Amino acid sequence: MIYLLHGDHIVSSRAALTQRIDDTKKQGKEVRQLDGNIIDALSLTQALESSSLFGGTVLVAIEGLLTKLGKKEKQAVLLTDILKRSAEATDIMLWEGKEIGKTLTALLGPKPSIQLYKTPVVIFKFLDGIAPGRAPMLVSLLREALAVDAAELIFTLLVRRVRHLIQLRDNVTPEGLQAWQAARLTSQAKSFTMDKLLSMEKKLFAIDISIKTGTSPFPLAQQLELFFVDMLQL
């Protein structure tokens, strides 16, 4: 059977993938993990159709295959046909770090198990609201976001957003951003000076180090609140 885990909420989707892999190994079954960014038709066929060393069903986990295919229609049809051909005898787990459109998911056939993991709307509202002088509002939104997701994910998204703003403030469009996203973030970036953005990035780096080394006197959630009070106060 084919299973697809996709969407921008990569912490949750990766946790589901890891859990499935761990459960399969505990059952004494073989797991084959493949990088979809570099796989070709021959290596995919070999991974899916060769017999298990332990007997029984094999779980083949492939990361990034559909994202790589994108608009490459002929290659997409070729590789998804290989997946469908093997789906009766092999469990196939596809993991994608972004939402996959209906055109590609339709190529997986009529019976795949598809789970979409989307980042909660409040987190995007929080990220889009970042601007000077908004500390009270941002702390409130941060607490709402922490109620629905892990501080680690929110921190990761915050770091990425600040780095995107730095690039856009320097007239560089970050790789992977759509035109409408770049336009919206450019407007957000203009509310900061470059010095302020670099100072924010430096502070976030210090928080990251303190958490990883265990030298922080506060948990990450509280560090994030203090970050906004310190960096974005009036």
∠218-221-224 over CA atoms, to 5°? 90
Same domain flag for 177 and 190: yes
Same domain flag for 148 and 185: yes
| Model pLDDT, residue 55 | 61
| Model pLDDT, residue 188 | 96
Q: For residue 202, give the CATH number of its domain.
A: 1.20.272.10
SS (H, E, C) the chain: CEEEEECCCHHHHHHHHHHHHHHHHHCCCCEEEEECCCCCHHHHHHHHHCCCCCCCCCEEEEECHHHHHCCCHHHHHHHHHHHHHHCCCCEEEEECCCCCCHHHHHCCCCCCEEEECCCCHHHHHHHHCCCCCCHHHHHHHHHHHHHHCCHHHHHHHHHHHHHHHHHHHCCCCCCCCCHHHHHHHHHHHCCCCHHHHHHHHHHHHHHHHHHHHCCCCCCHHHHHHHHHHHHCCC
Domain housing 167: 121-231
Residue 89, both tokens: 């005898």
| Model pLDDT, residue 234 | 46
Mean pLDDT, the chain, integer: 91
Residue 231 has pLDDT above 60, yes or no: yes
| Model pLDDT, residue 58 | 87
Same domain flag for 213 and 160: yes
| Model pLDDT, residue 177 | 82
Confidence class for position 233, pLDDT limits 50, 70, 90: low
Same domain flag for 149 and 205: yes
∠72-74-77 over CA atoms, to 5°? 105
| Model pLDDT, residue 57 | 78
Confidence class for position 119, pLDDT limits 50, 70, 90: confident
For residue range 38-78, what is the model confidence (pLDDT) as tens digits? Answer: 999 999 999 998 866 656 678 999 999 999 888 788 999 99
Same domain flag for 110 and 127: no
Same domain flag for 161 and 186: yes
For residue range 144-196, what is the model confidence (pLDDT) as tens digits? Answer: 999 988 899 899 999 999 999 999 999 999 987 888 999 999 999 999 999 99
Same domain flag for 98 and 177: no
| Model pLDDT, residue 72 | 85
